[in-house]
Structure 1
Amino acid sequence: MSNLADELKQMIIDVLALEDISVADIDTDAPLFGDGLGLDSIDALELGLALKKRYNIHLNAESTETKQYFKSIQSLVTLVEAQQTA
């Protein structure tokens, strides 16, 4: 199985139907929103649901911490790893 970063990249591609993007196209440290991957708040909601479904992670949409987790693939990896060891 691929590493967690690649798994999360594939999940983003699948959940958001990013047909023109491959796992290799997504920089692990690049921003997911704005200049990076260019996701928006609707995408964030869909990703939050996918994280809940796949990793049983519950996020508070209003939380500043949650916004930090959605900063990049690397920050999502940190979140998932922290939740899995908790």
Structure 2
Amino acid sequence: MTFENSSAQQGDLQREVAELIVQALNLDVAPEDIKADEPLYGDGLGLDSIDVLEIALVVSKRYGLQLRADNDDNHRIFSSLASLTDYIAQHKAA
């Protein structure tokens, strides 16, 4: 796999995850308006801890991976669309 293919696949996954977030939370924002490095909660997208739990649930179902509430890395994983997508790419079921 070339870097170009990997980068394109990462972009596709980011778009897919952004669409999943918008659908799961019924947000009034277009998936393409979610910037990859923008914070998902707080001042960025404005999500709260309940929203993040909902995202964890749909991501777990969609990609066959376990996101646990007691994971010390959750703050990093859910810090942005890019970090969430990186985590999914590394841990999703084949």
Check whether TM > 0.5. Answer: yes
Rg larger in 1 or in 2?
A: 2
RMSD of aligned alpha carbons: 1.6
Q: Show the 5 A alignment for 1:2-21.
A: 3-18=12-27, 20-21=28-29
Residue 36 of structure 1 corresponds to 44
Structure 1 regions of 5+ residues with no counterpart? none
Equivalents in 2 of 1:81, 1:24: separation in Å? 19
Equivalents in 2 of 1:50, 1:27: separation in Å? 20
Equivalents in 2 of 1:57, 1:67: separation in Å? 17
Instruction: Supply the AA of the counterpart residue of 2:22.
Output: I
- Residue 84 of structure 1 deviates from its aligned partner by 3.1
- Residue 3 of structure 1 deviates from its aligned partner by 0.1
Q: Show the 5 A alignment for 1:2-81.
A: 3-18=12-27, 20-81=28-89
- Residue 62 of structure 1 deviates from its aligned partner by 2.0
| Deviating 4+ runs (over 6 angstroms) | none
Percent of pairs with identical residues: 40
